[in-house]
Amino acid sequence: MTVTPTGTPESDRELVLTRLIDAPREKLYRCWTEPALMKQWFAPKPYETPVVETDVRPGGSSLIVMRGPDGQDMPNRGIYLEIVPNERLVFTDAFTEAWQPSAKPFMTVILTFEKQGDKTLYTARVRHWTVEDREAHEKMGFHVGWGICTDQLAALAATL
């Protein structure tokens, strides 16, 4: 995998991670949409992902539970907004199952998988509701955490 410079945010509420990954986009898309595969890479080790439930369609809900090394569970609920197989996934935590508004919306994620020969230009754009939310996500370790997860994603996709 080749690390490319982080993409340019389109606003002061956005964080971006871009990588050129040595795997076809179909494999990366599978890793993002198949629960058994998501469990293997989604959380930065030593965190785990014991629960992944996805209904990958516009309006479909998801539940992803990350578990910390201390055993604490961090459930993440959301709704898929746009699905373009092997090209684009858009989801948000602004809603939970059945379009119920969440208590505290935090972000919308736009993932793109662009074919680059036999590789994929992978871009994760994470748009936050406020600048403060973006700053909080950055302080939580967005670039390091999402970077580790992207490395894990690339390693898994290489085995498929």
Domain boundaries, the chain: 2-157
CATH topology of domain 2-157: Alpha-D-Glucose-1,6-Bisphosphate; Chain A, domain 4 (3.30.530)
Cα 39 → chain centroid: 12
**Tens digit of pLDDT for each residue in 119-146?**
999 999 999 999 999 999 999 999 999 9
Q: Is the pTM of this model over 0.75?
A: yes
pLDDT in the model for residue 146: 95
**Tens digit of pLDDT for each residue in 12-27?**
999 999 999 999 999 9
The encoded tokens of residue 8 equal 């340019």
A 10 A CB-CB count for 85 gives 13
